Amino acid sequence: MMKLREVLLPILIGIATIGSLGMFLWEWPTSPLHKGIAWHQLRTGSFASVENGQHALTLLYGEAPNQTALQKKSLGLTITETIVETKEVALPFTVETSTDPTFPAEWEYTFPAGHDGFAEVEVREVQVNGKITAYYDHSTRILTAPLHEKRFIGEKVHAELTKQLTDNWNSLKTALSKKQQNTAESFLLATDFGTLASIFKISDLAYRLEHTASVSLALGEESEFLIQIGTVTLQQKNCTTKATIPLYYLKDQQQYRLGNVLTALQSLCAKPKPTSGVLSCKNCWLAPVSKNFALPSSYIPYVVATGVTGGGYVTPDTRTALQKLFADAKANGISVMRVSSSYRSYTTQQSLFNSYVNNERKKGLTYEQAVVKANTYSAKPGHSEHQLGTTVDIMGCNYPCNFYDSKNTPVYTYLHNNAHKFGLIISYPNGSEPYTGYTYEPWHIRYIGVTRAQELYNRGYLTKTGYYLQQYLSEKGEY
């Protein structure tokens, strides 16, 4: 049997509890907890609510970590806090719309492309004085950052923008032609910076840049940070190829950039090469000086003493090659070898050629006939490779001796087989007269660098007919 006391005690406790709850509800507007909530609301922007007839303190997501401790300290309440659950809460991105005064009117773009994120949230239970239970969400870490997506509506008038982009292209042209790297980069996509060195090396760059560009606007591909907004089209006269340069808008920097400029310039037609005349090269050491092409009378290379037997003057690179050649020849049993002619200025060549013409006239030729005859073995002024400072005549006997002296033969055999190893080429080989216009000159060698000389030698310029130095240099176009 249950004793009365055992029955009454829970009833009394129940009455007391209901009474306490009733008192609490009665006292709620003035209770310390209510004040605490009001205080807390001021401090953090959170709020309290009463739900389902129970006193529930709801603290919104985003609380300061020490807020319960602050309440405890200022109100003297006994507050305990327990993590009762952890969960992932989706944080979807939001979209705002703004205007962009630099982007074409009526067009829009988004930046950056947003994606959903998640936060790891702890649900914490709070007990106040052991009675009042409240829950709040406490975000401990963001699992994936939600990106804030903005939609931009353009404002710039198309005509204005077209003018600005044309100006951009003209500024880039100037920077490219003057090889101003930093300025050029300010108009290019960062991914194209590495192409500048190649652009600067295009031999007829000025020619390719001179043609007028037209700008057209049309929305193209869009990525997170870029949007293609049109093209710059380059059209040359007398060339059917059209080069197009895509125009991009950098969303983050709100600036315009040009892409693939190198590819566009390379696709244009090359400057047509003249087939004869005075060359316009500044550094002419690889120019195809010949009967068709003349060096300018003003072309004077920097020359130094050869430092080998016979003396004379050549460019520093040529001197280095000659010294190696002479040392190698000596090591291969050539005891006598000397330079008989080296750098000759335009005016020296003029005097030399005139003296040859006079010699021929003494043999009874007319002036015209004498010029033609002299030109088979001597160049007219401007047409001599000796003006380059890279060319010498070599002899294998002590002065005086004839070019055709039998003592020379071992030297010319040696040059035939070895000169290319040092970057030196026989300009007028045996059998080349129909192409070069000069008789065989085994002594006349010109420096063009080891790689080119080796390439020409491998192509059989000494043994096959129809492929000689002047043709090779014309094709290379390095002048």
Active-site annotation, residues: 441
Nearer to Zn ion, 334 or 426 (CB): 426
Residue range at the interface with Zn ion (CB under 5 A); choices 206-214, 318-326, 390-398, 467-475: 390-398
Nearer to Zn ion, 166 or 430 (CB): 430
Q: Which residues pair with 190 in a beta bridge?
A: none
Smallest gap from residue 349 Cβ to Zn ion (A): 10
CB-based closest residue to Zn ion: 444
Nearer to Zn ion, 79 or 425 (CB): 425
Given its phi and psi angles, is residue 311 left (phi above 0), alpha (psi -120 to 50 degrees) or beta? left
Nearer to Zn ion, 191 or 355 (CB): 355
Nearer to Zn ion, 208 or 446 (CB): 446
Q: Does 393 contact Zn ion by CB under 5 A?
A: yes
Q: Does 444 contact Zn ion by CB under 5 A?
A: yes
Q: Does 100 contact Zn ion by CB under 5 A?
A: no
Residue range at the interface with Zn ion (CB under 5 A); choices 48-56, 169-177, 317-325, 437-445: 437-445
Q: Does 446 contact Zn ion by CB under 5 A?
A: no
Smallest gap from residue 475 Cβ to Zn ion (A): 23
Smallest gap from residue 241 Cβ to Zn ion (A): 42
Residue range at the interface with Zn ion (CB under 5 A); choices 118-126, 167-175, 361-369, 388-396: 388-396
Nearer to Zn ion, 199 or 395 (CB): 395
Q: Does 420 contact Zn ion by CB under 5 A?
A: no
Residue range at the interface with Zn ion (CB under 5 A); choices 124-132, 219-227, 393-401, 429-437: 393-401
Smallest gap from residue 342 Cβ to Zn ion (A): 9
Q: Which two tokens stand for residue 236?
A: 């040359």
Closest CA to 206 of 258, 256, 268: 268
Residue range at the interface with Zn ion (CB under 5 A); choices 127-135, 186-194, 214-222, 442-450: 442-450
Q: How many residues bind Zn ion (CB under 5 A)?
A: 2
Smallest gap from residue 393 Cβ to Zn ion (A): 4
Smallest gap from residue 386 Cβ to Zn ion (A): 6
User: Which residues of this protein are in contact with Zn ion, per CB under 5 A?
Assistant: 393, 444
